[in-house]
Structure 1
Amino acid sequence: MFTGIIETLGKVTALEKKAGNLDIGITSSITSELKIDQSVAHNGVCLTVVKIDGDTYTVTAIDETLQKTSLGDLQVGDSINLERAMILGSRLDGHIVQGHVDQTGRCTSVTETDGSWIFSFEYDASQGNPTIEKGSITIDGTSLTVVNSGINTFSVAIIPYTYENTRFNTYKTGTIVNLEFDVIGKYVAKLMGASPGFSKGVE
């Protein structure tokens, strides 16, 4: 379980295909604090640490993960959002994030405003994942608040701190991102038998 508050940025240092899986080597400022079998969210995807060597550690993404997330698009040198699992009893500064990506989305625009940025995204609404105006959304592991919610689109507002300390400063039109929709909203939508139109706040 995670909060969507990014701890640090890591750097991809190695990518090795093994059958249908992908071993990902990452250097980070938190590597010395990790241990084998520990769960870490990588661009919002919960993966298990399988090897540690100095300031580099390795995780393995299985084929299903590569098919449903953007991890298969990683290149050596890419930055990656990192968050360790939350500690029970600590403050929940973001929202409840499972580290289970629902689907990918595509950045459709980046607009710089007076002191912040507006990022807009689109996604395949046929999978039934809802967004709610002022609700929560996780983009590449970052907990954010939805604005301008549509049937298959939404936007988020990014402050300078988030822009500088996450992968958002690398996004441009066409960038593919991992989306985890609010877990409470997903359960409510399922119980109500909501259609994709639920994302517009249909009553």
Structure 2
Amino acid sequence: MYKTYNNIWERLGIFLGPILITIFICFKVSDPNFSWLAFLYWIHLPLVMIHETEEYILSPIGFEKFANYYTVLSKDPPEEDSPLSPAYKLFVNMSIWIWAVLGALLVTVLPWVGMGLIFFQLLINGIQHTIIFQIKKPGYNPGFLTTWLVLNPFCVVTIFYAYHAHALSSLDWLLSLVLGVGFIGVLLLKTTSKRKEE
């Protein structure tokens, strides 16, 4: 069941990502009330979809197999569905989609929600694809290219803009960092617990 759901959203993102980018650009161009921060928060979702397309569709190995066989998080001996099972894969990726939408919807009242996802992406992808995944299998890993060509630059630009536009208060910045790092902690605990399961 979970594998079927994963096949659906993986392929949906291929087509939906470019469409959403076009829609959000059109909204930004045509609506002067559509703020830059709202635009950046909304466009985060299709950029994530592009990243996931590289991870799960375009990569020769596929992120799921790579995570379960070729990383320090893999079991010894490796197992096909551990630590990244189909259910866990669905949970993580759909959490990001929902988080991106909520962050964009709440941009005017709780801007730290969307910025929390920005910090999460910048930290988790920058550390994961660049350092952690290089330990056991150096070189290219699924998602590496879009991490450095798409997500990391986007996150840096968003943080830079929000800071210089004074779009977030000091408390908002603190809450966003706590939220982003906190979710990384949740995933780390979940992943390590799954790795220890016999």
TM-score bracket, normalised by the shorter chain, equals under 0.3
Higher strand share: 1
- Which structure's residues are more often helix, by fraction? 2
Normalised TM-score (structure 1): 0.26
Q: TM-score, normalised by structure 2?
A: 0.26
